Structure 1
Amino acid sequence: MDSDNVDRINQLLEQDVELREKIKDQVAEFDKKTRTMSGILNRIHSTPSDGLPALLTSVQPVLDSCKDVTASLAAIIPPNQFWRWKEMWSISLRNAVFSAALIHYLQHGTLLSLSEATDILGIKSEWQDRFSLPIEDYLHGLITLVNELSRLAVNSVTLGNFEQPIKISVFVKDLFAGFSMLNLKNDTLRRRYDSLKYDLKKIEEVVYDVSLRKLAPSAKAENPAPMVE
């Protein structure tokens, strides 16, 4: 190997190290934002329904600021290198999708779509070869949403909100049915999907108990209203 070739290889290696450090800095900022959102949203388990609007309002600025990180990452990733670097931020991205989906559900009682998640996180179509929201990461975020809602179904009863588990049950059953129609080839995603049946069972047990004790009008609601007005 001649000296020119060695110098060129060393130059490329140094460029990779510099780029990796820049990405790590942005991912660290992304992680900070997602941890902050998770910390705030964890309070939903101890907050009465009438206090949820203020709680969700307080977390919204943090969610909005995630757009700055996605824009920064898109700016530093070289063209056509998305798949080379995506694993560095995939966990952060999944957590951001989870937070966005949970906020959306609590506000509207509906599922956050892939396109809505992309818009909320400020991910632009022209970044496709540098930074995007893969369907796998979106689905991981939704599975985490179900995990959290199964906790909420239990804790809402403690707070005296007996209708909320019923609404959650309708929503989660519909989401589970949607997942069951997907051809999941990703092993990790498949295992996490399989675990959803335990969350669903947990929610159904809460609904059964609420219904048996006649604490809520009905356990057969088909179009749940938003939890936050």
Structure 2
Amino acid sequence: MDASNVELINELLDKDVEIREKIKDEVNEFDKKTRTLCGLLNKIHSTPSDQIPALLTTVHPVLDSCRDTSAAIAELIPPNQCWRWKDMWTNSLRNAVFAATMVHYLESGSLLTLARVGELLGIKEEWSDRFTLSAEDYLHGLINLVNELSRLAVNSVTLGNFEEPIKISTFVKDLFAGFAMLNLKNDALRRRYDSLKYDIKKIEEVVYDVSLRKLAPSAKASAAVHGASA
């Protein structure tokens, strides 16, 4: 190997190290924000339903600040090198997806689309070759959402909110039906999708208990209707 070739390779290696360190700094910042988001959202399990809106007002500023981090990371990635570096921020991005979809569910009871999550996190279409939200990362974030909702179904009953498990059950079953229509070839994603069955079973057990005891308003109404028609 001649000297000029060695020098070129050393320059390329040094450049990679420099880029990696800069990306690492921004990803660490991203990770701090997503940990804060997850910590704040964990409070939903001990917060009465009428106090959830106030809790979410503390979450929104942190979620909005993720846009700055997205822009900072995208600025560092050379053109057409997204897939070379994306493993560095994958976990943080999936946690951000979870946070965004959980906030939206708590506010509206509906699912946030992949495109809308990208907008909330400030991910622009023109960054597709540098920093993007893939379908795989979005789906992993949704699985995290279901995992957390199965916990919420249990804890909401403890807090006296007997209607919430029924709402969660309807939402999660609809989401699971959507997953069932996808052609999941990624092994890790497929395994995590299969694990959703345990979350659904857990939620169904809570709903069954609430319905059996006629604790939820909808369960009481249903019982009254059936009683009147008998």
- TM-score, normalised to structure 1's length? 0.95
The match for 2:160 is 160
The match for 1:47 is 47
Unaligned 5+ residue runs, structure 1?
Answer: 222-229
Equivalent runs, 1:183-222 vs 2, <5 Å: 183-218=183-218
Which whole-Å CA distance do the structure 2 matches of 1:38 and 1:86 have between them?
A: 21
Equivalent runs, 1:89-128 vs 2, <5 Å: 89-128=89-128
Q: CA deviation at 1:171?
A: 0.1
Q: CA deviation at 1:80?
A: 0.3
> CA deviation digits over 1:43-92, x for unaligned, max 9?
00000011100100001000000000100011010000001000110000
The match for 2:182 is 182
Task: Give the aligned residue type for 2:123.
Answer: I
Q: CA deviation at 1:150?
A: 0.1
Q: CA deviation at 1:217?
A: 2.7
The match for 1:149 is 149
Which whole-Å CA distance do the structure 2 matches of 1:162 and 1:114 have between them?
A: 30
Which whole-Å CA distance do the structure 2 matches of 1:185 and 1:100 have between them?
A: 25
Q: CA deviation at 1:218?
A: 2.8
The match for 1:136 is 136
Q: CA deviation at 1:17?
A: 0.3
Which whole-Å CA distance do the structure 2 matches of 1:146 and 1:159 have between them?
A: 20
Task: Give the aligned residue type for 1:216.
Answer: A
Task: Give the aligned residue type for 1:77.
Answer: I
Which whole-Å CA distance do the structure 2 matches of 1:135 and 1:26 have between them?
A: 23
Q: CA deviation at 1:136?
A: 0.2
Q: Which has the higher contact order (CA 8 A, sep 6+)?
A: 1
Aligned residues: 220
Equivalent runs, 1:18-57 vs 2, <5 Å: 18-57=18-57
Moved over 6 A (4+): none
Unaligned 5+ residue runs, structure 2?
Answer: 222-230
Q: CA deviation at 1:162?
A: 0.3
In the alignment, does 2:181 pair up with 1:172?
A: no
Which whole-Å CA distance do the structure 2 matches of 1:6 and 1:216 have between them?
A: 73
Write 1 or 2 for the structure with the bigger share of helix: 2
Secondary structure of the 1:94 match is: helix
> Percent identity over the alignment?
75
Task: Give the aligned residue type for 2:213.
Answer: R
Secondary structure of the 1:218 match is: helix
Equivalent runs, 1:54-69 vs 2, <5 Å: 54-69=54-69
